[in-house]
Structure formats: structure tokens, C-alpha cells
Amino acid sequence: MPEPPPLLAAEGLGVRFGDFRALGGVSLRVRQGGIHSVIGPNGAGKTTLFNALTGARPPTEGAVTLAGREVTRMPAHRRARLGMSRSFQVTNLFAELAVRENLRLAVQAARGRSAWAFWHAPSRLPGVAEAVEGLLSLTGLAARADARAGSLPHGGQRALEIGMALASDPKLVLLDEPLAGMGVDDVARTKALIRGLAPARTVLLIEHNMGVVLDISDRITVLARGRVIAEGPPAAIRADPGVREAYLGS
């Protein structure tokens, strides 16, 4: 059977900052329903790649295709409507609002509801309460639903970020270092959460925790100095001498 078309594809992506080429000739095919990780030493271009894929900062060269549609110059909010979502940063949480309220804001925003509706007419929005309860359960935050988001420990805040990224019920979720700064227990919990997102959703992950990346990824793309130096399943990446060299040499 022929391989189905990728959910997200990049062809020859390049990003320049003045004379500096942060990304050059990067091609990527993210298959539907899998967990695809992007790894590489600091400064390799991972965040620049995410920005180009989401539309936060479009590439200077190349093309991005989402679900068969060219989106290279499409702004981030329109890509979101096509089913692409990126994890919020902790700084995007409303620290003074409860965990449940943060999720409700994200669900309502994803459905195009105004701030007015958030404060004045929440009970009239069909399906929102159910969606919020679903996200609380998925992220393991149900027991902390009424706690202020700012009072959650680091791991809980990161789980809430992922929950907010899922509020639009996306087909594709991009997670940028979701395990950063976590202790062992939170890493285990978040790893299980990410693993559970697929195959109903497709996950594109930037992550430094190699143990977790090798364990949960279907495919891994390795960047170094703005280029793809290896691409394949975890076993092939683990055995690749060029990958080891890129890490040891960084």
C-alpha cells in the first residue's frame, strides 16, 4: 500500500537572520497519528523550525504543507483553524485564575468566543464545560481544578500548558520542551500524557530528554547547525555515529 500523505510537510525550509542562516534546506514529513521528535544540540535551529512550521516567523525559503494545503505564508491563527496547535508557555497562563478557568478560556477562545462570554455567559456555551472536564481528566489535573494556576508546581503548570494547547481539539500538536525543568515523577506523568495523545492526534515534539525521546517517538529528525543530519526511527538514530558526534562535539 502506498504511504499516506504526511499531515505536515516542510520542503527546503530556510530561515535567515540578516546574514546568519539559522536554518537551511530543511525537509520534514510528519506522518499522521505518530509522535515525531526534533532533537539537536543548542542553537541547532529547533525553535526556528517550529516558528516556521507554525507561522510565528515564516521561512525565508521553502514551503510548508498542512493536511495537503500550502500554508507557508498563512498566519498562525489561520493554521490553528486547520488543526495545528502549539503548546502555550507558562508565561501565557493566567496565574490568578483557577486551572479550570484557564482551560475554559482556552476552549472558548478556540471556539471564537469573546472575553465577554467568558465572564458573563459561560453557562450558555454548549459543550464547553464537557470539553474542560475532558481536558482536566486527560492532563491529570482534575484534583487541582480549583487551585490557582500560579499555585501549581512546575510540572502541573506544564501539564496545564499542554491542556490549553489541546483546547482547540487539534489534529497536530507541537510541544516545545514539555519536560524541561521537571523532576522524575513529573517526567513520567508527562511522558504518559504525550504518549496518550497519539494516535488520535499527531505530535511534533522538541525535547532534550533523550531517554524519553527514544522511548516514545515513532520518528526522530536530528538537526545540527540548521540542517537535518539524520532522520529515522529511534533505533537508527541511536546507532547513528553522526548524531553522537553532533552531540559530543557541541
Task: List residues binding ligand ADP (CB under 6 A).
Answer: 17, 20, 22, 40, 42-48
Minimum distance of ligand ADP from residue 51's CB (angstroms): 8
In 21-169, which ranges are continuous DSSP H helix?
Answer: 46-54, 76-81, 99-110, 115-120, 128-139, 154-165
User: Cell for 5?
Assistant: 500523505
Q: 41 or 234: whose CB is closer to ligand ADP?
A: 41
Torsion of CA 226, 222, 138, 140, to 10 degrees: -90
Q: Is 64 helix (H, G, I), strand (E, B) or coil?
A: strand
Q: 16 or 148: whose CB is closer to ligand ADP?
A: 16
Minimum distance of ligand ADP from residue 68's CB (angstroms): 27
Q: 42 or 123: whose CB is closer to ligand ADP?
A: 42
Q: 22 or 110: whose CB is closer to ligand ADP?
A: 22
Minimum distance of ligand ADP from residue 211's CB (angstroms): 19
Give the whole-angstrom CA distance, residue 22 versus residue 157: 30
Give the whole-angstrom CA distance, residue 194 versus residue 75: 26
* DSSP strands (E only) in 133-201: 172-176
Minimum distance of ligand ADP from residue 237's CB (angstroms): 16
Minimum distance of ligand ADP from residue 12's CB (angstroms): 17
Minimum distance of ligand ADP from residue 53's CB (angstroms): 12
Q: 141 or 228: whose CB is closer to ligand ADP?
A: 228
Q: 35 or 246: whose CB is closer to ligand ADP?
A: 246
Residue in the block written with cell 519536560: 179
Give the whole-angstrom CA distance, residue 77 versus residue 81: 7
Pairing label, strands 84-86, 172-176: parallel
Q: How far is CA 130 from CA 38, 73, 137, 199, in A?
A: 33, 35, 11, 22
